[in-house]
Amino acid sequence: MRTIRTTGELRAWLGNARDEGRTVGLVPTMGAFHAGHHALMRAARAEQDAVVVSLFVNPAQFNDAGDLAAYPRSEDDDAAEAAELGVDVLFAPPESEIYPEGFATTVNVAGLSDVLEGAERGPGHFAGVCTVVNKLLNIVGPDVAYFGQKDAQQVAVIKRMVRDLDMPARIEVLPTVREPDGLALSSRNVRLSSADRARAVALSRALQAAADAAATGERDAAGIRAAAATHLAGVDAEYLAIVDPESFAPLTTITGPALVAVAARVGPVRLIDNAVLQPVPVAT
């Protein structure tokens, strides 16, 4: 595996891969790899001839300078893990390579970017995500780009951007990888104290309660939400919402697949998680 830091060098490498007729997979990341990242890399390795993993902690998507400063960074370990998984290129550019002086363009998906994560983290969050993902798709030109369902709203926003702007890449979404007790893996989990780590399981418990309620026939979103909310007493919940998985419009009644999304502060760490609810069919 080679680590590449400039767009020019990456394009030259990809030009050769394309000349050889190889398909290309891209896994965009902010590093501090865990088993969720590994699953995306494994899928890309299994499905594509050439695999590029990008590692860029994107300042444009952080609304909180403290969060950006505290974001875990471990490039040497990340590179070793990516190499072990058979990744061909780790693209780890400096900030000046992505945002050179005079950079002035922003890509924004209106509406979808303004609710839940967008409302909590500010309107610039998803604009920052979209702008950097658009750049990565332009730089790499992958056949398939791989994302995690863990960041469900990010997936919805990126899919909309790709559709609206006729971007040629296919977006593939992989399931959330969890700890044995249900906690969704996140690079931020390393910042949880042991007491906070124990409390953090509240998020996945709440989602499980919502799924159980839906599975036993509850279709009223308020009822499902109430079942979930009882598990969040020990954390500082920011939102618990039941929405359409594509438009993120709030739902009052569950008649098809619905997304239950939660965000909470656990000590100094902000965690998010989600699950797709399936209503039980109405007996006829």
Position with the least CB separation from ligand AMP: 148
Contacting ligand AMP within 203-262 (CB under 6 A): none
We find the least distance from the C-beta atom of residue 149 to ligand AMP, in angstroms, to be 6
Q: How far is the CB of 176 from ligand AMP (least distance, A)?
A: 4
Q: Cα(first)–Cα(last) distance of the chain, in Å?
A: 57
CB-CB contact of 108 with 125 (8 Å): no
The footprint of ligand AMP on this chain (CB under 6 A) covers a number of residues equal to: 17
Residues 19-58 that bind ligand AMP (CB under 6 A): 29-30, 36-37, 39-40
Strands (E), the chain: 2-4, 24-29, 50-55, 89-91, 144-148, 170-174, 236-243, 258-266, 269-277
State which residue, 227 or 274, has the beta carbon closest to ligand AMP: 274
* Least spacing, CB of residue 57 vs ligand AMP, in Å: 8
Q: Quote the distance between the C-alpha of residue 127 and its chain's center.
A: 14
CA 282/CA 70 separation, integer angstroms = 48
7, 187, 189, 204: residue in contact with ligand AMP (rule CB under 6 A): 187
Quote the least distance from Cβ 94 to ligand AMP, whole Å. 18
Question: Which of 107, 177 has the CB closer to ligand AMP?
Answer: 177
Q: Which of 7, 134, 153, 186 binds ligand AMP (CB under 6 A)?
A: 186
Q: Which is nearer to ligand AMP, 36 or 93 (CB)?
A: 36
Q: Which residue has the tokens 């359409």?
A: 244
Q: Tokens in use for 21? A: 């007729």
Please list the active-site residues: 37
Residues between 125 and 184 that touch ligand AMP (CB under 6 A): 147-148, 150-151, 174, 176-177, 184
Residue 112 is a binding residue for ligand AMP (CB under 6 A):
no
Closest CB to ligand AMP among 174 and 276? 174
CB of 247 to ligand AMP, least distance (A): 20
Please give the C-alpha separations between residue 212 and each of 18, 207, 215, 274, in angstroms, as whole numbers. 48, 9, 5, 14
Q: How far is the CB of 66 from ligand AMP (least distance, A)?
A: 17
3-state secondary structure of 153: helix
Q: How far is Cα of residue 36 from the mean position of the Cα atoms in its chain?
A: 10
Amino acid at 231: H
> Which residue's CB is nearer to ligand AMP, number 89 or number 227?
89
One-character DSSP codes across 78-146: HHHHHHHTT-SEEE---HHHHS-TT-------TTGGGSTHHHHH-THHHHHHHHHHHHHHHHH--SEEE
Q: How far is 158 from 167, CA to CA, in rounded Å?
A: 10
* Identity of the residue, 48 or 187, whose beta carbon is nearer to ligand AMP in the bound complex: 187
Residues that bind ligand AMP (CB under 6 A): 29-30, 36-37, 39-40, 147-148, 150-151, 174, 176-177, 184-187
